[in-house]
Amino acid sequence: MKILVTGGAGFIGSHLLQLLQGQQGVEVVVYDNLSSGRREHVPKGIRLVEGDVRDAEGLAHLFASEGFDSVVHLAAQTMVPYSLSHPEEDCQINLLGLINILECCRKYAVKHIVFSSSAAVYGDNLNIPLHEEEKPMPTSAYGITKMASEHYLRMYHDLYGLNTTVLRFANVYGERQGAGGEGGVVSIFCKLLAAGQGVTVFGNGEQTRDFVYAGDIAEALWRGSQLEGHHVINISTQKETSVNQLLAAFKQAVGREFPVQYAPIREGDIFRSVLANGRCVELLGFCPAMNLQEGVARTYADYLQKIGDK
């Protein structure tokens, strides 16, 4: 089986490539413009093609010459604030880029695509834990392009028979995450704490998130690439973790106390966020299970090691 991973040089991509490397009979090609991804995230033995998902011609050439069986589409502009200041660029990369990929899937007989969607499609909905049937009501340009992308995927399934799996990730964290992007609080804390600084929490720290480990996301992407039909599935722990609980996990990982400053809450921040994961268990046969303490410890250790290597 030959798989194309767009955005494979990024944070989540790097975890997926590690997993795919160990699969028998799977050939992987990465397509990435390295805007936020890194060449060193692509292991030896996996081919990296440098290119942009906005380049329809370049993609057509790649699909025609490679003959992919399936695609995992991770390439994206991932920063919510940037999507608000640059809505046109967000749409070009995240929506038009996806359409370029879907058109190639249709023309070059690809059987399956997995799409990385986001909890951002739900917007600020307090009917938690949020199930997939909730009405999407995104509050950012990023969430809107993810939601529109989901509709395109369903349409390509209905009209052209492409198998389409939409995975809505909660707040992903883990080794190799950049300090920008979505759900970056863990990597931001890692960066500050590794530099011996304290951290700032916006609000009283009781706001919650559903922190899911990137290795579990990789497992979901791999399992999702084997589903037939069209599916929309949350990938989450279904556990609400407050920022104060996250800080406690960091205190253990770092092994010392550190200063925490509480600042006024930021406008537009969602107070509680947790996604139901019953459909993930039912359709993908697994439950994202990385324990937060262990996940934070691994992420912090990786950060320290990188600083040591510099």
Ligand X SMILES: NC(=O)c1ccc[n+]([C@@H]2O[C@H](COP(=O)([O-])OP(=O)(O)OC[C@H]3O[C@@H](n4cnc5c(N)ncnc54)[C@H](O)[C@@H]3O)[C@@H](O)[C@H]2O)c1
Q: Does 234 bind ligand X (CB under 6 A)?
A: no
The token pair at 262 is 């509480």
Nearer to ligand X, 149 or 245 (CB): 149
Contact stretch for ligand X (CB under 6 A) within 3-11, 127-135, 219-227, 242-250? 3-11
Residues 73 and 97: their CA atoms lie apart, in Å, by: 10
Nearest to 269 by CA among 172, 215, 203, 176: 203
Q: Does 210 bind ligand X (CB under 6 A)?
A: no
Q: Does 80 bind ligand X (CB under 6 A)?
A: no
Angle at 89 between CA 88 and CA 90, to 5 degrees: 90
Contact with ligand X (CB under 6 A) among 1, 26, 46, 54: 54
Q: Does 238 bind ligand X (CB under 6 A)?
A: no
Q: Does 59 bind ligand X (CB under 6 A)?
A: no
Site size for ligand X (CB under 6 A): 31
Contact with ligand X (CB under 6 A) among 2, 26, 33, 191: 33
Contact stretch for ligand X (CB under 6 A) within 69-77, 225-233, 266-274, 286-294? 69-77
Give Cα separations from 9 to 15, 74, 149, 195, 304 (angstroms): 10, 9, 21, 26, 21
Contact characters 169-208, ligand X, x per CB under 6 A: x-xx-----x--xxx-------------------------
Per DSSP, the three-state class of 189 is helix
Q: Tell me the closest approach of the beta carbon of residue 142 to ligand X, in angstroms.
A: 7
Q: How many C-beta neighbours within 10 Å does residue 291 have?
A: 11
Q: How many C-beta neighbours within 10 Å does residue 34 have?
A: 15
Q: Tell me the closest approach of the beta carbon of residue 60 to ligand X, in angstroms.
A: 15
Strands 112-118 and 163-169 turn out to be parallel
Residues 264 and 234: their CA atoms lie apart, in Å, by: 31
Nearer to ligand X, 179 or 297 (CB): 179
Q: Is 191 exposed, middle or buried (0-12, 13-18, 19+ CB in 10 A)?
A: middle
Residues 195 and 149: their CA atoms lie apart, in Å, by: 39
Contact call for residues 75 and 53 (beta carbons, < 8 A): yes
Contact with ligand X (CB under 6 A) among 29, 72, 75, 104: 75
Residues 130 and 249: their CA atoms lie apart, in Å, by: 25
Active site (annotated) includes residue 31 = no
Contact with ligand X (CB under 6 A) among 53, 98, 253, 292: 53
Nearer to ligand X, 146 or 157 (CB): 146
Nearer to ligand X, 82 or 108 (CB): 82
Nearer to ligand X, 156 or 211 (CB): 211
Contact call for residues 143 and 123 (beta carbons, < 8 A): yes
Contact stretch for ligand X (CB under 6 A) within 2-10, 80-88, 222-230, 259-267? 2-10
Contact with ligand X (CB under 6 A) among 70, 78, 207, 273: 78
Catalytic position from the list 122, 142, 300, 303: 142
Buried b (16+ CB within 10 A) or exposed e, 71-84: bbbbbbbbbbebbe
Q: Does 118 bind ligand X (CB under 6 A)?
A: yes
Binding site for ligand X (CB under 6 A): 7, 9-13, 32-37, 52-54, 74-78, 93, 97, 116, 118, 169, 171-172, 178, 181-183
Q: Just list the catalytic residues.
A: 142
